[in-house]
Structure 1
Amino acid sequence: MIHFRTLATSAIALAAIAAFPAQAQDAPDAADTAGNGDDIIVTGTRAAGRSRLDSPAPVDVLSGETLRRQGSTEVGQALATVAPSIDFKRSSAVDGTDAIRPATLRGLSPDQTLVLINGTRAHTSALLNVNGSVGRGSAAVDLNTIPTVALDRIEVLRDGASAQYGSDAIAGVINLRLREAREGGGVSATYGIYATDIDTARGHRSVTGEPVLTVSGWQGIGFGNDGYLTISGEYVDRKPTSRGDFDPRVTPSRVTSRFGDPEVEQATVFANAGVNVTEALQLYGWVGYQDRDSKSAAFPRLATTAAANGVGGIWPDGFLPLINTKSRNLTSAVGLRGDVGEWNVDLNLSYGRNRIAFRTLNSANYSLGASSPTEFYDGAVTYDQWIGGLDVSRKFDIFHSLNLAFGAEWRREGYKIAAGELNSYTGSGAQGFPGFSPDNAVDAHRRNISAYIDIEAELTSRFLVAVAGRVEDYSDFGSTANGKVSARFDATDWFALRGTASTGFRAPSLQQQYYTSITSVVVGGDVLLTGHYPPTNAVAVALGGLPLEPEKSTNFSLGGVVHSGAFSLTVDAYQIKLRNQIALSENIRGTGAVGDPINAILDPLEVQAARFFINGVRSTTKGIDVVANYKARTESLGTLDFTLAANFNDIDVTRVPTSTSTLDPAPTLLGRNRILTLEEGTPRTKITGAIDWAGDLLGATLRTTYYGGVNQPGTAADGSGDILTGKHVITDLELRYQPTKGAQLALGANNLFDVYPDATPAALNSTGVVGYPYYSPFGFNGRYLYARVGLTW
Structure 2
Amino acid sequence: MTRQKAPLHRNPLALALLTILAASGAHAQNTSSTPTAATANPSKAKQLQTIVVTGTRAFDRTEADSMSPIDVLTPKDLTSTGATSLAGALRTLLPSFNFPQPSVTDATDAIQPAQLRGLSPDETLVLINGKLQHTSASLNVDGSEGRGASPVDINAIPINAVASIEVLRDGAAAQYGSSAIAGVINIILKGGSQSGSVYSTVGVYSHHDGEDGRTVRGGADGGFALGKKGWVHLSFDAEHQDPTNSAGPDYRYPGDPTYGQVTFHYGLPLLSQKSAAFNMQYDFAPHVQFYAFGIFNKRNVSAQGFFRSLSSYKTSQPAALAVYPDGYLPVENTSVLDSSLVAGIRGKVLNGWHYDISADAGSNHWKLNTADTFNYSLGAASPTSFYIGTLTTQQNYLNADFTKYVNIESLENPLVVAWGLEYGQDKFAIKQGDPASYAGAGAQVFPGFRPGDAGNYMRHNQAAYLDLEEDWTENFSTEFAARHSHYSDFGNSNVWKFSGRYAFNNTIAARATVSTGFRAPSLQQEYYSSTGIQFINNGVSDLPYTIRTFPVDNPAAIALGAQPLKPEQSHNYSAGLVFTPHNGLYATLDFYQITIDNRIILSGNLIGTNVAAYLTSVGIPQVSGGQFFTNGVNTRTRGVDLIGTYPIDLGSAGTLKLTGGGNYNKTIITYIEPNPPQLGLAGLTLPVIDRPTQGIITDGTPKDKVFLAGDWTYGNWLVHGQVTRWGSFINFGSTPAGDIVNAAKYTLDASVGYTWNRWDFTIGGDNLTNQYPTAAPASGGPYNIILPYSEYAPFGFSGAYYYVRAAYHW
8 Å CA contact 2:212–2:243 kept in 1: the answer is no
8 Å CA contact 1:515–1:534 kept in 2: the answer is yes
Identify which of structures 1 and 2 has the higher relative contact order when contacts are C-alpha pairs closer than 8 Å and 6+ apart.
Answer: 1
Aligned pairs for 1:524-563 (under 5 A) are: 524=537, 525-563=542-580
**Residue type of the alignment partner of 2:453:** N
SS at match of 2:607: coil
Equivalent residue, structure 2, for 1:632:
648
SS at match of 2:786: coil
8 Å CA contact 2:653–2:714 kept in 1: the answer is yes
SS at match of 1:210: coil
SS at match of 1:193: strand
Match of 1:523 among 521, 533, 536: 536
1:701-733 CA deviation, whole Å, 9 max, x = no partner?
A: 1011111101111112xx121122210011111
For residues 122 and 455 of structure 1, the distance between their equivalents in structure 2, rounded to whole angstroms, comes to 25
Equivalent residue, structure 2, for 1:513:
526
Decide whether aligned partners of structure 1 residues 637 and 408 sit closer, same or farther in structure 2, where only a CA change above 3 A counts: farther
Deviation at 1:666, TM superposition (A): 4.2
Is 1:710 the counterpart of 2:723? The answer is no
**Unmatched runs of 5 consecutive residues or more in structure 1:** 1-22, 199-205
Aligned pairs for 1:328-347 (under 5 A) are: 328-341=337-350, 342-347=352-357
Decide whether aligned partners of structure 1 residues 28 and 318 sit closer, same or farther in structure 2, where only a CA change above 3 A counts: closer
For residues 99 and 183 of structure 1, the distance between their equivalents in structure 2, rounded to whole angstroms, comes to 36
Equivalent residue, structure 2, for 1:327:
336
Equivalent residue, structure 2, for 1:772:
789
Equivalent residue, structure 1, for 2:99:
88
8 Å CA contact 1:614–1:657 kept in 2: the answer is no
Deviation at 1:184, TM superposition (A): 2.3
Equivalent residue, structure 1, for 2:482:
469
**Residue type of the alignment partner of 2:136:** S
Equivalent residue, structure 2, for 1:216:
219
Equivalent residue, structure 2, for 1:622:
638
Aligned pairs for 1:138-287 (under 5 A) are: 138-196=149-207, 207=210, 209-249=212-252, 250=256, 253-287=260-294
For residues 64 and 617 of structure 2, the distance between their equivalents in structure 1, rounded to whole angstroms, comes to 58
Match of 1:390 among 393, 400, 405: 400
1:113-154 CA deviation, whole Å, 9 max, x = no partner?
A: 000010001000001111100110011101001011010011
**Residue type of the alignment partner of 1:356:** W
Deviation at 1:240, TM superposition (A): 0.9
Deviation at 1:24, TM superposition (A): 13
Equivalent residue, structure 2, for 1:67:
78
SS at match of 1:89: coil
Match of 2:143 among 132, 152, 156: 132
Decide whether aligned partners of structure 1 residues 744 and 677 sit closer, same or farther in structure 2, where only a CA change above 3 A counts: same
Equivalent residue, structure 2, for 1:312:
321
1:83-111 CA deviation, whole Å, 9 max, x = no partner?
A: 01100010011101011011100000000
For residues 557 and 456 of structure 1, the distance between their equivalents in structure 2, rounded to whole angstroms, comes to 18
Is 1:668 the counterpart of 2:687? The answer is yes
For residues 151 and 313 of structure 1, the distance between their equivalents in structure 2, rounded to whole angstroms, comes to 53
**Unmatched runs of 5 consecutive residues or more in structure 2:** 1-12, 27-46
SS at match of 1:790: strand
Equivalent residue, structure 2, for 1:202:
none
SS at match of 1:312: helix
Aligned pairs for 1:88-127 (under 5 A) are: 88-127=99-138
Equivalent residue, structure 2, for 1:760:
776
Equivalent residue, structure 2, for 1:737:
754
8 Å CA contact 2:19–2:50 kept in 1: the answer is no
1:529-556 CA deviation, whole Å, 9 max, x = no partner?
A: 1111111110110011111010000000
Deviation at 1:771, TM superposition (A): 2.1
Give the alignment's TM-score, normalised by structure 2. 0.91
SS at match of 1:513: helix
Is 1:579 the counterpart of 2:597? The answer is yes
Is 1:687 the counterpart of 2:703? The answer is no
8 Å CA contact 2:100–2:793 kept in 1: the answer is yes
**Residue type of the alignment partner of 2:449:** F
Decide whether aligned partners of structure 1 residues 252 and 666 sit closer, same or farther in structure 2, where only a CA change above 3 A counts: closer
Decide whether aligned partners of structure 1 residues 213 and 145 sit closer, same or farther in structure 2, where only a CA change above 3 A counts: same
Q: Which moved more, 1:693-702 or 1:474-483?
A: 693-702
Q: Which moved more, 1:36-45 or 1:533-542?
A: 36-45
Is 1:656 the counterpart of 2:672? The answer is yes
1:457-496 CA deviation, whole Å, 9 max, x = no partner?
A: 1111111011000000000000000011101110111111
For residues 14 and 712 of structure 2, the distance between their equivalents in structure 1, rounded to whole angstroms, comes to 24
For residues 211 and 653 of structure 2, the distance between their equivalents in structure 1, rounded to whole angstroms, comes to 36
Decide whether aligned partners of structure 1 residues 316 and 701 sit closer, same or farther in structure 2, where only a CA change above 3 A counts: same
SS at match of 1:65: helix
1:653-696 CA deviation, whole Å, 9 max, x = no partner?
A: 01112222233444311021111110111110001111122344
**Residue type of the alignment partner of 1:582:** I
SS at match of 1:32: helix
Deviation at 1:626, TM superposition (A): 0.4
8 Å CA contact 1:543–1:667 kept in 2: the answer is no
**Residue type of the alignment partner of 1:277:** F
Equivalent residue, structure 1, for 2:69:
58
Aligned pairs for 1:41-52 (under 5 A) are: 41-52=52-63
8 Å CA contact 1:183–1:220 kept in 2: the answer is yes
Deviation at 1:699, TM superposition (A): 1.0
**Residue type of the alignment partner of 2:390:** A
**Residue type of the alignment partner of 1:626:** L
For residues 18 and 337 of structure 2, the distance between their equivalents in structure 1, rounded to whole angstroms, comes to 48
SS at match of 2:697: helix
Deviation at 1:177, TM superposition (A): 0.5
For residues 489 and 506 of structure 2, the distance between their equivalents in structure 1, rounded to whole angstroms, comes to 50
Deviation at 1:27, TM superposition (A): 8.8
Question: How many equivalent pairs are there?
Answer: 758
SS at match of 2:779: helix
RMSD between superposed Cα atoms in Å: 2.0
SS at match of 1:72: coil
1:313-348 CA deviation, whole Å, 9 max, x = no partner?
A: 111121100111100011110011111121110000
Equivalent residue, structure 1, for 2:697:
678
Match of 1:403 among 416, 439, 447: 416
SS at match of 1:424: helix
**Residue type of the alignment partner of 1:451:** A
Equivalent residue, structure 1, for 2:368:
358
The sequence identity of aligned pairs, in percent, is 36
Match of 1:421 among 434, 452, 459: 434
Equivalent residue, structure 1, for 2:502:
489
For residues 24 and 397 of structure 1, the distance between their equivalents in structure 2, rounded to whole angstroms, comes to 28
8 Å CA contact 1:487–1:499 kept in 2: the answer is yes
Equivalent residue, structure 2, for 1:201:
none
**Residue type of the alignment partner of 1:336:** I
**Residue type of the alignment partner of 1:237:** H
Deviation at 1:742, TM superposition (A): 2.8
Match of 2:622 among 591, 606, 618: 606
For residues 210 and 618 of structure 2, the distance between their equivalents in structure 1, rounded to whole angstroms, comes to 45
8 Å CA contact 2:615–2:623 kept in 1: the answer is no
For residues 598 and 14 of structure 2, the distance between their equivalents in structure 1, rounded to whole angstroms, comes to 49
SS at match of 1:605: coil
Equivalent residue, structure 1, for 2:716:
697
Decide whether aligned partners of structure 1 residues 606 and 28 sit closer, same or farther in structure 2, where only a CA change above 3 A counts: closer
SS at match of 1:323: strand
